[in-house]
Amino acid sequence: MRLTAFSDVSLRVLMLLSALEPGQKLSTQKISEGVDTPYNHVAKAVAFLVNMGYLDSTRGRAGGVMLSDAGRSATVGTVLRATEGDIPMIECEDENGHCPLDKFCRLRNVLAKAREAFYASVDSVVISELTAGARPVGPVFVELGFAPPENALPAR
């Protein structure tokens, strides 16, 4: 199973914001730079995540986006179910799909079980746990006010 680019960007946005202090806001542009993804893709993911309740946004000069309480407790599984939707893994799962083996093939059921096993394996992983204790560093994060960890090696 391969995740869509939209799911990838959405998870990266949530992980970046979960690494910040609670209540700290970032602009969509800064998030775009932080996850190294085009602004338009990040803006679409941010709008979706706000609509789902995982992010809070404020417009205006002092505006920005921050992780909501629901976003702090969101699991990878719930986010992926929301971002992936019900995309068929193979053609015969699609209502318009056609397969001459459809009447006796069991592959569809096997793949459906595999998909559910995948989701079950990430249902217990809270996104904020993926970044717990992490202090991102790099040019974008230094600009955002993050300092390198005390034990970090000096830049060459």
Q: Identify the pLDDT of residue 111.
A: 84
Taking a C-beta distance cutoff of 8 angstroms, is the pair 123, 75 a contact? yes
pLDDT, tens digit, for every residue of 41-87? 999 999 999 999 999 999 988 889 999 999 999 999 999 999 998 77
Q: Identify the pLDDT of residue 117.
A: 92
pLDDT classification of 141: cutoffs 50, 70, 90: low
Give the range among 9-13, 38-42, 86-90 with minimum mean pLDDT: 86-90
Distances (CA, A) of 2 to 35, 59, 83, 141: 19, 34, 13, 29
The mean per-residue pLDDT over the stretch 10-32 comes to: 92
Q: Spell out the domains of the chain, with CATH numbers in brackets.
A: 5-85+126-143 (1.10.10.10)
Q: Identify the pLDDT of residue 102.
A: 67
